[in-house]
Chain A
């Protein structure tokens, strides 16, 4: 019955449970812009090293094929860097626009790593300018060295950003006294104990993503019958980077997971889909939580305890040990985590197979199924990276700074108008993605047609063409 008493009781319950109206669109907005940027950031971190190796090979062995590849990759990286830089700028605005509760109160706690990230990015942008325009304009030996600072600053920049993220997971370097932030120690944030491992995981992930993506492009070329030195070398260099990264990643990820039961038990419980504390805990493949019950998972006994706790019987603490209001969205966290681990394992197995067969004198590049797999490996690595990021970010909820600041308290008091912003952003990011794909494809097409140097769109011969508008 809809009595006044029931109505007021319901309203009162809704009022206490209701999230700020801007929270969901703000989170989606952040997810869109960060999820988009993270892919380009990976290229910014990993691509310069591959270009350096290729360019160096070109100079050392006087290898025209390698030099040509380095030159093309540099042009590709120019396009990716440009849109990566603007999407990164979007994020620095959004930190304040969407999360004034975080930046207003903790800006001086978490800010210093960003200052060093800014420095690193500055250097990367400067050397990109020098390198891109340096072709044929400075001595070859000096020119190739101009890539090196980009490779190094990409690493430093990634470390700094990950230091802030690690701080959000394991806050340190300040004290809360009666709600006031005091005793700020910004260097502790920059060098927090968790930052290095989180960085290592992301860094290796960047090499996987970039390596598999670039190698995939040449795998597609080989599938279409282009089996020249250009394609073999273009495949091999990024594939070597990706291979080393792919076999390293499971170890890095495993070490990163140590102590998660103490650091963020709710996140671990969500990763493992541990509703209740079981001893020993099984490893749950797939499955979702419906009304507090695990459905549809394949359970492998003991393995959960072994992998998560490094012990045959130590249990993974379950969600039942954690207050309801501190639970993250369990299903999304669990599935994202398993997607990351699953794809990572598949990619590691594939590269091991490739190199093993190669040692035995069998070249999998002759096999179409393997080329098809490599073509898919780039997108798979992107999915794995996004899934890993979703797992760690969603798994931290409802905290924006773990155990210190709830996401609901960090968001600005914008109303549902943020949905408009999200709509516009979706259109802009889609347009930017289409633009990048169109331009990169047309670059590739012209290169295939034999244009070593792309003509300027305004060069006299283009400008002299009949006016379309006439």
Chain B
């Protein structure tokens, strides 16, 4: 793998940047792999990368029906934080956060991780009680967090309407300074390049059409490029997990919904943090190229069509304009929908399945992006050992039978 550096940039400038090495190969599938990862998004590519890097398993294929990072990785609002309420979730997301902090160095690829802080606003007394509780829980878990009053909020975000003249006046906020944003495409590309360099085969334009089993043991996957065998298969296909589970002959406690986001025209830097509000329900940050990245809730009904409804756009923009009246005349450039697999307790499933050798990593709902490196890391460990990584163990599918749910609706940021 060609090492990226400032010196390399200067050197390649002399040949007009025409001699850069390809970031990853485009191999033909082998007959058999040790591990197949289904889904070439951020989580799948991270899984393959950590399998090769931390567990020495390099005979790995990532099978992707479209192109790398073309699904939900390309369709989110790029926010990274770890301020979850319950221990199990907080540990998992904090694990991811720690990996984020060294990710660009680790991958030798600039994922543009920017720790600009994440603010969750409170608009009611109950919001403020929940915020105090969550910040205290975070600090007990060694996760940074503070409760801000209105004056402090106004200092950090001067353009926000913190007056009492709004329908739901802002009363305070939780604040996680280590949170921020990362460049979503770079995350996928960085993991892809890193995995490829370690010998992982990235098979694009290869759709899984079936899962072959012998009795209760997985044999491999049927694809549009023929059958590929493997002893271990890890499925990381957000938005289609239910479809894949059906191919393997079981059901998941998951419902798929469209979640949409939109970006405005680019403008000069005006907002240098991430602002989220659960109550009026919108969240906004400004990307490095200047556009406002705006998101809100999921459509209430199940859907696989990657688009959202007008009603949700209106609801979202009402919230944004309520918080930032000065954005009322900003034009929106693009809108898109991703399909999120939501679990009844707003927490993911990282689990073995009724089929031997088949593992699922799914159900991240509306908050999968922030977990990308951590999710891949614990799932790789799970696939390598054949049993759950300690951080992944509470997220077993069994919790929907035992009732030991991890109810994170309050910290999920999006109602679902």
Q: Do A and B bind each other?
A: no
Residues on A lying within 8 angstroms of B by beta carbon are: none
Residues on B lying within 8 angstroms of A by beta carbon are: none
